[in-house]
Amino acid sequence: MQGRNISDIIEAYLKEILAESARVEIKRSEIAELFNCVPSQINYVIKTRFTIQRGYLVQSKRGGGGYIRIEKVKLLDDRDMLDTMIQLIGEQINQRDALSLVQKLYDDQVIERKEANLILAATSRETLAVADRQLEERLRARILIGILNHLRYERE
pLDDT digits (tens, 9 = 90+) for 46-101: 988 888 767 788 888 776 667 888 988 755 467 777 888 888 898 999 999 999 89
Of 130, 155, 149, 150, the residue nearest 140 (C-alpha): 130
pLDDT digits (tens, 9 = 90+) for 26-48: 988 899 999 999 988 998 999 88
Alpha helix (H) residue ranges in 36-94 = 39-49, 78-89
Contact assessment for residue 102 and residue 73, using Cβ atoms and an 8 Å cutoff:
no
pLDDT of residue 39: 86
The sign one gets for the Cα dihedral 149, 150, 151, 152 is positive
pLDDT digits (tens, 9 = 90+) for 87-100: 889 899 999 999 98
Task: Please tell me the pTM assigned to this model.
Answer: 0.57
Helix (H, G, I), strand (E, B) or coil at 6: helix
pLDDT digits (tens, 9 = 90+) for 97-112: 999 899 988 988 888 9
Q: State how far the Cα of 70 lies from the Cα of 13, in Å rounded to an integer.
A: 13
Q: What percent of the chain stands above pLDDT 90? A: 46
Question: All domains of the chain, ordered by start, with CATH?
Answer: 6-72 (3.30.56.130), 78-154 (1.10.1200.150)
